[in-house]
Amino acid sequence: MSSEKTPLVFCELCVRQISGDAENVTTCSESFECQLCFGIMDQSMIDEVGEKVQEELQKLPYDSNSFILALNLPVGQTLREILVNRLRPDFNGTLVQVPHKVRNIDGYLKKLGSYSGKRPTLSSDLQLMITFEQDESDFTDLQFLQSAFPNDFRVGKRNRYSHQEAPTSCSKQQLQQVTGRINEQIARKYVFKSPTRKCTFSLQFERDPVFVAGRYCKYSRCLPQSPWSEDKDAPREPGNSVSEKVCDVLKKQFGASDSRFVTSGREDIDVRMLGNGRPFVVELRNCRITLPVRGLNYLETLKSVEETINAQKDIKINSLTRVPRELAEKLCVGEEDKRKQYCAYCYSILPISDEQFAAARSKIPLTIVQKTPVRVMKRRALLDRERTIFSMDFLKLDDHHFEVRLETQAGTYIKEFVHGDFGRTRPSLAELLHVENGEVDILELDVEKVDLEWPPKLKEGQPPVKFR
Ligand SMILES: [Zn+2]
């Protein structure tokens, strides 16, 4: 076995920190030619990144005084770190024992701290990710790994059934899988080349989402819950949905780039949501302003946000509060166990007697089976669903009109339960009243109560949560 040392070309910094006074290492004139760091560690590169960070923050500032730094280094650089390690045990630079990633982070951390005016920490809700790219050797690196580990990099292994192009680079995960098996003998087959140009880089700031929970009431019969209304005939007016009326105000207030409106169930566009409202939670992503909802400030801030939202017509929200992610995620858990109360204003073609109402009522509690309703068949899977009707009370208004108050298991299709949906819901209210399916129908429907403790309450006497 040859004991000849693989010749390498390093930048001045890598010579000092990695190779030390070992022989067979040449110093390059341009730092990007460094076969180990690709010039990423060069002061001019760090300054260039720092200036870009400063520029971005001036354009769109975040009111955070700290940040976490994450570097996404080229995969080729990780590979070279491993190879150099195997090939040159004679290296004795000052940081030769320090992992490459740590060396990079250290190089950037302090400088970026001063450029950004923010403190680099290990725990912040703001993350700065810098992605460096230098793809000149990607394909030859992949070929090297393919020939060293044919079983791990079988050509076409993943693409046999798809028409995707063959891969031109190796992923970090793939490299990680074989790292332990790259020995000196394999490493010797690698041909080190210097990059011919500088790395490129991109920045991405990402802030932990803020979750705001509350309940909404809807007083209009032509306001959809979301702009992605399933009702094709519904007029689409930008801003005219419950989710937009709530989210737009929040997004603006906290400079969020995006939001997600999650609710406990949904009502049709022509159904009002009354009582204490339907539980919801808004996930606000990448907020630029969170100071007003940090500490205990959120209580006051959200009170005023609530007022702003409620100044719009057709909706009212209440109980707006900030919740941690774990609680926000509980909103949709156990959906089937929830109960909902409805009030339906109905019309019957034939007059209905008190005896008929009493007979229907005597069947409660009642289990019904609903086949997927005709009106949603196109977009929902066809299946039979069992649902429970827990209570049913009638108020006769005249021979042809009555109100029925229902308490049902969440997920019951109320309109279909009333008119029978061509026999697809059984038994239906029409059946229970001994009239034909379709002879009783809903004129107006309201949701009166969604049975869920929301927003989740802290135990009595506990102080409110403080948010970071
Ligand atoms: Zn270097």
Instruction: Output the domain CATH number for residue 315.
Output: 3.30.70.2510
* Whether 50 and 199 share a structural domain: yes
The domain that holds 346 is classified in CATH as 3.30.70.3190
- Domain extent, residue 426, equals 339-450
* Whether 73 and 191 share a structural domain: yes
Contact assessment for residue 425 and residue 413, using Cβ atoms and an 8 Å cutoff: yes
> What pTM, to 2 d.p., does this model score?
0.85
* Residue 131 CA, ligand 1 centroid: distance in Å: 17
* Residue 130 CA, ligand 1 centroid: distance in Å: 18
* Residue 98 CA, ligand 1 centroid: distance in Å: 14
pLDDT digits (tens, 9 = 90+) for 114-160: 999 999 998 899 999 999 999 999 999 999 999 999 998 876 555 55
Contact assessment for residue 37 and residue 18, using Cβ atoms and an 8 Å cutoff: no
Q: Is 268 a catalytic residue?
A: yes
Query: Which of 120, 288, 286, 121 has the alpha carbon at shortest distance from 207?
Result: 286
216: tokens are 């909404």
* Whether 29 and 110 share a structural domain: yes
Model pLDDT, residue 467: 82
Q: How far is the C-alpha of 406 from the C-alpha of 359, rounded, in Å? A: 16
Taking 50 as the pLDDT cut, the residues of the chain under it are: 1-2
* Whether 241 and 254 share a structural domain: yes
Query: Which helix or strand (DSSP H or E) is residue 147 part of?
Result: helix 138-148
Question: Mean pLDDT over all residues of the chain?
Answer: 91
Number of domains in the chain: 3
| From 138, 268, 421, 446, the catalytic residue | 268
Model pLDDT, residue 164: 63
> Where does a domain end: 287, 303, 335?
335
* Whether 331 and 343 share a structural domain: no
Residue-wise over 311-338: b if at least 16 C-beta within 10 A, else e? eeeebbbebbbbbeeebbeebeeeeeeb
* Residue 453 CA, ligand 1 centroid: distance in Å: 58
Model pLDDT, residue 1: 45
* Residue 457 CA, ligand 1 centroid: distance in Å: 55
Query: Which of 304, 236, 316, 334 has the alpha carbon at shortest distance from 273?
Result: 316
* Whether 303 and 402 share a structural domain: no
Is residue 162 in a domain?
no
Is residue 457 in a domain?
no
Mode of pairing for the β-strands spanning 126-133 and 66-72: parallel
* Whether 253 and 238 share a structural domain: yes
Is residue 458 in a domain?
no
Model pLDDT, residue 221: 93
* Whether 24 and 130 share a structural domain: yes
* Residue 189 CA, ligand 1 centroid: distance in Å: 22
Q: How far is the C-alpha of 455 from the C-alpha of 251, rounded, in Å? A: 20
* Whether 323 and 383 share a structural domain: no
Model pLDDT, residue 187: 96
Percent with pLDDT over 90 in the chain: 79
* Whether 254 and 349 share a structural domain: no
* Whether 39 and 175 share a structural domain: yes
Orientation of helix 75-87 relative to helix 172-179, angle to 10°:
20
Model pLDDT, residue 158: 54
* Whether 34 and 60 share a structural domain: yes
Is residue 467 in a domain?
no
Q: How far is the C-alpha of 42 from the C-alpha of 34, rounded, in Å? A: 10
* Residue 93 CA, ligand 1 centroid: distance in Å: 12
Q: How far is the C-alpha of 453 from the C-alpha of 103, rounded, in Å? A: 50
